[in-house]
Amino acid sequence: SYYAMAANRYLHRYGGTRERLAEIAVAAREWALLNPAAFRHAAGPLSVDDVLGATMVSSPLTVADCCLVTDGGGAVVVTSLDRARDLRRTPVEVLGYGERSTNTSMTAVDDLTRTGARGSGADAFARAGITPADVDVLEVYDSFTITAALNVEALGFCGEGEVLDFIQGGRIRPGGALPLNTSGGGLSYCHPGQLGVLLLVEAVRQLRGEAGARQVPGARIAV
């Protein structure tokens, strides 16, 4: 219900619609259909009408706007670049990172539509010496459709209040200009207690060219 309030606030402030927000879930399912390991791989495609018509959980979020409740895990090994050159698997270089701690409870958030990704993203891009225009693959937390939308905007891929228009037209789907959550994300792939590590794992798979049918051609930079 906290995230539902965030969604309501965003839609009220910027005049967006539930239909446009549903694109996040629709795109996630399209990626999941290309991933045999995805929990929703065999579920078939998802339409905007399917998202809107699913059981309401907390208005405006339906079941299809909400992440899976599944088990799973992953790990990331980090070492020096000199050591990585001798490994059997292709190394992926960490260009930069950013971090923010903003609150311990959503009851203490000043503005539910602004996430810590604004600051952490700015730091990461600065340290890496890149801009959003350089990014080939984007993996963001999608506990709910609104979570992913807010973070795409917070990371600077579009202007404030513009994300629901920005993601339309297939931009975040397979073949689009900004491949988003290419495993199917928490919405359609897997959502263990800590999804973040699986975002890193998928980014590495994409940059190594190991993503199979969902591989983004020529992917060199992931966030």
For 140, counting Cβ atoms within 10 Å of its Cβ (0-12 exposed, 13-18 middle, 19+ buried), the class is buried
- 141 is a catalytic site residue: yes
CB of 217 closer than 8 Å to CB of 60: no
- 189 is a catalytic site residue: yes
The active-site residue, picked from 2, 3, 14, 189, is: 189
CB of 109 closer than 8 Å to CB of 120: no
What residue type is 63 in one-letter code?
V
CA distances from 200 to 2, 85, 114 (A): 26, 20, 23
CA angle 149, 72, 117 (to 5 degrees): 25
The active-site residue, picked from 10, 14, 97, 141, is: 141
Catalytic residues: 141, 189
